[in-house]
Structures are given as C-alpha cells and as structure tokens.
Chains A and B, each alone.
Chain A
C-alpha cells in the first residue's frame, strides 16, 4: 500500500508539474463539442444523439490520456528504476489506474459543463445526478482497461498506434453501455429513469477488467 501511495504521489506530481495529459484531453473535448455544435447545425441535441456525442468525445479524449500514461516512465529509463524496486508490480498498475481515474474526473469537470453549454439545453439539468453515476462507473472501466493497454503498448515501439487499436475495441462495451444508460437522461421530455441493466453492464465490465489487469499486469512488465 505504501508503494501505491508513493507511486500515485509521483504520478500526480508529474502531471501537476508538466500539465501534459489533463489539458490535452480537456481541450480536445471542448474543441470536439464546438465542431459538433456547428456540424450538426442544431442549437441543442437530445436523446441517443446527445448521449453518443458525449461518450464518443470522452472516449477519444481518454485515448489521449492513455497514450500519455507511461511517457515519463519511458524517458531516461525511469521505468527500469521502478522495476528494480522490491515491490509487487501490480502496485504500478494500481497507482497508474488511480491517477488516470483522477485525470478523467478532472477532464469531465470541465468537459461536461462545456457539453451542456454547447449542445444541451438548460432543461437537461435534471439529468445530472444520473449522469454522475454513469460517469463514475464508466471512468472506472476506462481507467482499468486503458491503463492495461497503456502498460502493454509501452513495451512496444508503436505505442501511439497500438493504444487506439487495442483500446478502442476493448472500450466498446463501456461506450455502448454508457451511451445506452445516458440516452434516457437526455430525452426530449426531460430525464427518464436510469436503466439499471446498463449500469450493471458497466459495473460488471469494471470488475472483470480490474481483476484481469491485476492478474496480468506483472506479466506484461516482464522481459
């Protein structure tokens, strides 16, 4: 646990010092919402279209963050320094995943209000409690799978290509479930009830990928 704490502190300190991941993800999301705003030629969107726009944008933004996750570790052999430490290597995964979860949360604190402003009407305000629950569950899945993919890709030379090629298909279930769960919240007549089935799918995905990553991450870092 102390190793996770030390590694997490390092991750957050590096991001606060370099501001490489969160600003990139946030700016990408806002620009994409602006593009959708003009491309759809509608002042507001609703239902499954609104849900799709939100989740596709957040998914692509999360890919930017996934790509950056291990960049500092690959410079100057810093990862070797971590691998030399007598720690359980799953601590590296847990610290990265928690840091990524923090980055995603920071992204959404800016991106979701921007989405409301640019593409949703003020009437969609009653969707916020349900949306927060979906965002929390989806973030867990994106962080669990994204960190695993980033860890795998960092061992290869084609990291920039491998992350989206592996990450997007792996995260498809999250996006489907999150979009389906969110669509009723953005219904034209006001937010409808949260569909429990899709929340359960998100929860199951989080559990499966969390356990899978804990089981295989040590192996991924082996020579």
Chain B
C-alpha cells in the first residue's frame, strides 16, 4: 500500500465524524446522506413495507407474487452474507452451505418428523451456530483468495454430502416438505407458534416482514460499536487492531451471525418452494449469485444487496422470452455492470451525488475530493482490495 493510500484510509473515519457533527451550510445534505436516515424514520419505514405488502398482495398475479417472494428471499440471503462480505470485508462463498443446512433441516423436520415450526427454527439456529463456530475457529487463519477458496470448499463439500447421503437427503432426487414422495404429500405449511404460513400471499407478506426486520436490525447494528469495528476491519485490519478492535473475534461474530441468519432463511426457502433438491442449492445458485447480488447492488451499503437481488433474480425472468440466449445476455449484462459500475449500482449513485455536491459547494473537505476523484479508490464504501494489502 502506498503512503498516500494509508493516509487516506486513516483520514476516512475522522472526516466522516466532522461531516456528522457540523454539517457545513454549503452542503447541508452531505452529513445527513452519509449518516443515513434517523431511527424515527427507519422504524416506521420498516413497518410500512410489510403493511404495503399485505395490502397489495391480493391484487398481484400469482406469477408476480412468486417473483417478488423469490427476490425477497434472495435479498435476505444477500443482506445476511453482506455482513461478512461487505462489512467485515471477507469474500465468503460459504452461504450455500448454510442455506443448504437450513433448507434440509426444514424439509426433513416438517415432512418426516412433523416438528412444530418453532422447534425447527431453534434446532436450525443451534446447528448453524455450532457449525459456524467450529468453522470460524480455523477459517480466519486464511485471507483473501485463500479465504474465498476455503469457503467455496465448504459449500462444495456440503453439496457433495446432500448428493451422496441419500437415506437422509433424498440424494439428487431431493425431498418434499410434505413427506416421502410415495405418500404423495402436499408441501407442509410453515407453522411458527400461532402463525401458519401456507399460501403464496402469506409467504409474500412473511418475506416482506423478514426482509425489513433484517434490514432494520442490520442498519441499527452498523451504527453501534460492532458495526463500526467491522467497517474498520474492512478498511484495514492492522490499523483496526491497533486502535483496540479485537479483529479475530469481530470477524468470527460477523461470520457466525451471517451464517445463522442464512440457515434460517434456508428453512423459509425450503417451505416456500415445498421441495429441496441439490439443484436449488448448487454452487452457482446458492454461493456465487448472492455475491454477485452484493457486487451489482453496491458493496458496503445497506440497500445494495436488495437492488442486486432484484437484478440477479429479476433479469432471467425478464429475459425468459429470449430463451436460449437468456443466460448469455445475463452474463453480458453482469460483465457490463461490473465494468461500468465496479462499486455497484449504489456506488454509482453515490459518486454521482458526490459529484453534484462538489459542484454545488465551494467549501469542500479534502476527503470528498478523493472520494469523487477519477481514480476509483474505494475509501468509504466498498472494501479495499483484499489482495492489495500485501504489497
């Protein structure tokens, strides 16, 4: 890392503070925009989204309900994964493993053991917690590409297990939440205490509740000490350690929390689909696509993964008419998005806003110029180069 980069990184958080405390008259929105909306705005917003979902649900066609629910579920996966990837700055491809874990426990428990939903959720959470803890003890000894491969390895091993352990997972044929295929059972509902989620509309509303609760929780967490520590680790873990952040512990917390959340979403996903098979949790689908969602939406932002999920899940749906070429068009669009906006959609919006603000104000903090300047060195949003830390 060059000295100027280091200086820029060390300056980052300090400038952000200035922006918060005394937002100078020429750019009153700069501080507000950086800090995000206040709590009195976000809590009602988080309540309003599910309410709107509840109101519009009867109006929607079945196909739209399906699409929006799928987007919402994958957005929740991406938002959870983003804790490790975007905030703690570790490229984790392990999401597939935990999604699989949750989905298979969910399908097995409802379909074969007839557990109540709350027990399933509790067991999944504990299983994911134990597994993630065990993995996190050793996994953070690797960094950068090594970390990515190690987590990819965990996902691929999980895939191998569900294909081969036929007596429990149904092998490549999969299994239904309605029990053995011979009994021809319809998919079982997800019962959480008094609530029973069964119809497409109910899943749609439940998904909205889940996603907005997750977003609210994370947005609050990110303003607390934990969140700030994670951002510090993302920017520079040596520097973070030097100011008293317990780097290994914080990374572990981020990984375990994200893994447990993804496993719980897995339970939900399995019940919504009604059927689990290795195909739904392949490496490309369950491990890589969430990473792509985060990248496309904008890494380091709260809403980025949601936008990314809408793009990644929605695009193939929109391109369905293109038939054979649809995956090709998807690949080309993905490439173009990364080329045009390497920091994601929200990164593009942010630099655009920064540019507008810099045009509108004469008094400018030096760090803002760096942020909006031509070399797209991600200093505030967007984790720093993983591999770049070595030189």
Verify that A and B bind, or say they do not: no
